Structure 1
Amino acid sequence: MQAKEAAERLGITQRMLRHYENEGLLDVGRTLNGYRSYTEVDLRRAGRVRDFIATGFSTREIRAMSACLSDEGAGPCEGGLEKLKEKLEHIDRLRAELDEKRSAVMDRLATLQNGLATVSSR
Structure 2
Amino acid sequence: MTPKDAALHLGISQRMLRHYESAGLMAVGRTLNGYRQYSPSDLRRAARIRDFIATGFSTREIYAMRACLSDDGSGPCEGGIAKMTEKLESIDRLMAELQERRAAVLDRLQLLETQLDSESPRSEPQPA
Moved over 4 A (4+): none
1:28-60: per-residue Cα shift (whole Å, max 9, x none)? 000011100000000000000000011111111
Q: TM-score, normalised by structure 1?
A: 0.96
1:120 Cα offset (Å): 2.2
Supply the AA of the counterpart residue of 1:85.
T
**C-alpha distance in structure 2 between counterparts of 1:96 and 1:48, whole Å:** 28
How does 1:96-115 map onto structure 2 within 5 Å? 96-115=96-115
Pair 1:87–1:74, CA change in 2 (3 A) = farther
Supply the AA of the counterpart residue of 2:69.
L
**C-alpha distance in structure 2 between counterparts of 1:107 and 1:66, whole Å:** 45
**Structure 2 unaligned residues grouped into runs of 5+:** 123-128
Alignment partner, residue 20 of structure 2: 20
1:4-48: per-residue Cα shift (whole Å, max 9, x none)? 000000000000000000000010000011100000000000000
**C-alpha distance in structure 2 between counterparts of 1:40 and 1:74, whole Å:** 17
RMSD of aligned Cα (Å): 1.2
**Structure 1 unaligned residues grouped into runs of 5+:** none
**C-alpha distance in structure 2 between counterparts of 1:35 and 1:68, whole Å:** 27
1:76-98: per-residue Cα shift (whole Å, max 9, x none)? 11000000000000000000100
Q: TM-score, normalised by structure 2?
A: 0.92
**C-alpha distance in structure 2 between counterparts of 1:112 and 1:42, whole Å:** 56
Of 70-79 and 2-11, deviating more is 70-79
